Structure 1
Amino acid sequence: MYKRIASIVIVVFLISSCSVWKKTIRFLGLSNVPIETNYSIREVDQLIQSGLSYRGIPYRTGGVDRKGMDCSGLLFRIYTDQHFQIPRLSKDQAQFGLPISIQEAQVGDWIFFATSQTKVINHSGIISQIKSANEVYFLHASTSKGVREDNLYTKYWLGSFVKIIRPFKN
C-alpha cells in the first residue's frame, strides 16, 4: 500500500515539473501563473515582419502564396516562411495553442472570429501590434480587401470575436 502511494507521489511530482502539465493547469484555470510563449521575441518579430510583407496580396480561397491567400493560409505561410509547422485550416489552428483573454494578448498571438450567422470559427489572424488597451491590431486576409491589418476594437470585429490563443511551437 505504501509503495503504491509513494509511486503515485513520485509520478505526480515528476509530472508537475513538466511544462505540458503547467500549461494544462493554467488552461483549466487552476493557476494564475502567466502563460509563457514558446517563441522568442526575435522569432515573433520575424513572424510579424513576414506577415506584413504580404500586405496587399489579394484574397484567394485555399491560397498560400503571393497570387492570393485566405486567412488560415496567411498564418500557414507566415510560419512556413520561418520554418515552423502549424495546421493549415482555421478550425485546426484554433486548437493549436492555449486560450487567453484579450487582456493577456501579446503580439504573435492568434485571433479567431465567427463572421457568419453559424457562430462557427471561420476567420483567423495574428496580432501584429498593440498600441493601447483599445488598439489591438491583427493581420489577416480579408475577403474584400486582401491581406491587411485591422483593429480588433471596431464594432464588426469585436462583434465577431471568438477567442485568442497563444500558439504552440513545433
Structure 2
Amino acid sequence: MFKRVICILSIVFLVSSCSVWKKTIRFLGISKKETIENNYSIREVDQIIQSGMSYKGVPYRTGGTDRKGMDCSGLLFRIYTDQLYQIPRLSKDQAQFGLPVSIQEAQVGDWIFFATNQAKVINHSGIISQIKSANEVYFLHASTSKGVREDNLYTKYWLGSYVKIIRPFKN
C-alpha cells in the first residue's frame, strides 16, 4: 500500500512539472501563476520583426499582402508567412489567435488591435516592434495614408482607438 502511494505521488509530481500540464492548468484557469508564456523564442520574434521592418514604406492597398501594397492584416500575414508560420489573414480572426495580455505585460512580437474612426469592431492591427519605455511602445502597421510604418501607441489617436493586445499562438 505504501509503495503504491509513493508511486502515485511520484507520477503526479512528474506530470505536474511537465510544460504541457502547466499550460493546460493555466488554460483551464486553475493555475495560481498568471503570466502568459511567449510561444516564440527571442530569435524567432527578432526574425519576424526584421521581416516586418523590411516592408517599411510599402504603400497601403486593401487586401494586399506584397510589396506592391498591403493592408494591416496583410502585413501581419506576410511577415509570418515569410518565416513559414501560418496565421489567419483577417484582423477579426487574428484578434482571436492568441491570449490577451495587458499593455503593461506587452512584449515585442505581441499583436495589437484597434477600432479606428469610432468603429464598433476591430478594424486595424499591428505588431509591437519596440518598447523603449513605459510610454514609448512602438508598433509596426500598414497605415491607410502612409503605408507600412511604425507609430507609438502612446499618442492620443492610437491610445483612443486601442482595443487589445494578444500574444499570438505559434502555428
Structure 1 segments (4+ residues) deviating >6 Å: 13-16
Partner of 1:24: 27
Distance apart, 1:80 and its partner CA: 0.1
Q: Distance in 2 between matches of 1:80 and 1:100?
A: 24
Matched, 1:102 2:103: yes
Q: Distance in 1 between matches of 2:154 and 2:118?
A: 20
Could you report, residue by residue, the CA deviation over 1:79-107 in whole angstroms, capped at 9, with x for unpaired residues? Answer: 00000000000000000000000000000
Q: Distance in 2 between matches of 1:136 and 1:105?
A: 9
Partner of 2:39: 38
> Any residues of structure 2 matched to 1:12-161 within 5 Å, and which?
18-25=21-28, 31-161=32-162
- Counterpart secondary structure, 2:57: coil
TM-score, with length taken from structure 1? 0.86
Structure 1 stretches of 5 or more lacking a match?
A: 1-9
Could you report, residue by residue, the CA deviation over 1:124-160 in whole angstroms, capped at 9, with x for unpaired residues? Answer: 0000000000000000000000000000000000000
Distance apart, 1:34 and its partner CA: 1.5
Distance apart, 1:17 and its partner CA: 5.0
Q: Distance in 2 between matches of 1:128 and 1:44?
A: 9
Cα distance change, pair 19–93 in 1 and its aligned pair in 2 (3 A): farther
**Greater gyration radius:** 2
Distance apart, 1:29 and its partner CA: 8.8
Q: Percent identity?
A: 80
Structure 2 stretches of 5 or more lacking a match?
A: 1-11
Q: Is the 8 A contact 1:16 1:22 kept in 2?
A: no
- Letter of the 2:24 partner, please give it: W
- Letter of the 1:128 partner, please give it: S
Q: Is the 8 A contact 1:62 1:70 kept in 2?
A: yes
Distance apart, 1:21 and its partner CA: 1.7
- Counterpart secondary structure, 1:18: helix
Cα distance change, pair 118–39 in 1 and its aligned pair in 2 (3 A): same
TM-score, with length taken from structure 2? 0.85
Alignment coverage as a number of residue pairs? 158
Q: Is the 8 A contact 2:127 2:140 kept in 1?
A: yes
